[in-house]
Amino acid sequence: MKSVFVTEKTLDSMWFRLLKEVNEHGRKNPITYGSFAGSNRLEFDFAAGTIEFPTIRPLAPIMPEGVPPPTTDVEIEKYFVEYIMDGTLTDNNHYKYATWISGGQYTIPKVRWPDSHDAGHRLTIEVPNQTQWIIDHYKKRGHGNNHCYIQVGYPESSFAYDLPWNDESERQTSPCLRGIDTHIKDGALHMAATFRSWDLYAGFPENMGGITMLMEYMANEIGVETGPLSFSCLKLHAYDYQTEAVKARLNEE
C-alpha cells in the first residue's frame, strides 16, 4: 500500500505532481458499478496534500502546446458561480454542491420514520446556507474557534444508488465532495476539502479552482487573508480513457 502526501506551491504544480504520482504508483481497480462501469480506474491507495498559494493565477492547469486543458479559468469561475454559490436546481440536477455550501432544496432519497413501516418515503428539505453561517460565526465568536465545517450530503444520500432508473441519465448519485473544513490561523483562512471519490484528471482542477474561489470570497467577507488549501481522498483516480491525456501532460509516450 502506498499513501501519497504532497505539498506544492500552486494548483497547477499540485495537479502535475499528482498525475505523475498516480501514473507511477496508482493501483488499477475495476469499476463494477457506477460511472464507466466495466472499465478501470488507476487509483491512489490514499492521497492528501496542501497547496501553499492556491490563489495564484491561472487557477486552471498550464498545458503543453497542443494539449487541450481539462478546464479554464473562465470555466472555473462559471463552476464557482453556478455550482458552488447558486443552489437553484434544474431538471437535470437533484443536487449541487451549492445545495449544502450555499443553501437550497434537497430531496432525501429514502427515509424511515420511527412510527412508520414505509422505508421509501422521500422528504424534500430546505438546506441552510452554511457559508454565510460560517462567515457570521467567525465575526461573532472570533477567529479562535474550531466550529466552522461545511458538511456536504447526508447519511441517507448514499441511498440514492438504490433508486430505480431506466437509463443512465436517470441514475442518481451521492456527492463526491463530502466536506470543507475551515480554520483561521495568523490572520489567514485555511481550508481542507474531503472527497469520497475524485476524478484527478478532469475533476480535481475545476473542483479545487472553485473551492479556491470560495475561500477567497469567505476570507474577504470575514476580513482576513487567504491561506493554504488542503485536500484528502481515499479514492483519487484517473480513468482508463484518460491515460493518453495524462501521458500527454507528463510528456511521456
Ordered by start, the domain boundaries in the chain are: 3-199+213-249
> How high is the pLDDT of residue 117?
54
Over residues 171-207, the pLDDT tens digits come to: 889 999 999 999 999 999 999 999 999 999 999 999 9
Q: Which fold does the domain 3-199+213-249 belong to in CATH?
A: Thymidylate Synthase; Chain A (3.30.572)
Q: How would residue 92 be classed by pLDDT, with cut points 50, 70 and 90?
A: confident
Cis (ω within 30 of 0) for the bond into 58? yes
Please tell me the distance from the alpha carbon of residue 14 to that of residue 51, in angstroms, as a whole number: 7
Inter-axis angle of helices 130-141 and 203-222, nearest 10:
40
Please tell me the distance from the alpha carbon of residue 112 to that of residue 122, in angstroms, as a whole number: 9
> How high is the pLDDT of residue 72?
98
Over residues 21-77, the pLDDT tens digits come to: 999 999 999 999 878 889 999 999 999 999 999 999 999 999 999 999 999 999 999
**pTM of the predicted model as reported, rounded to 2 decimal places:** 0.94
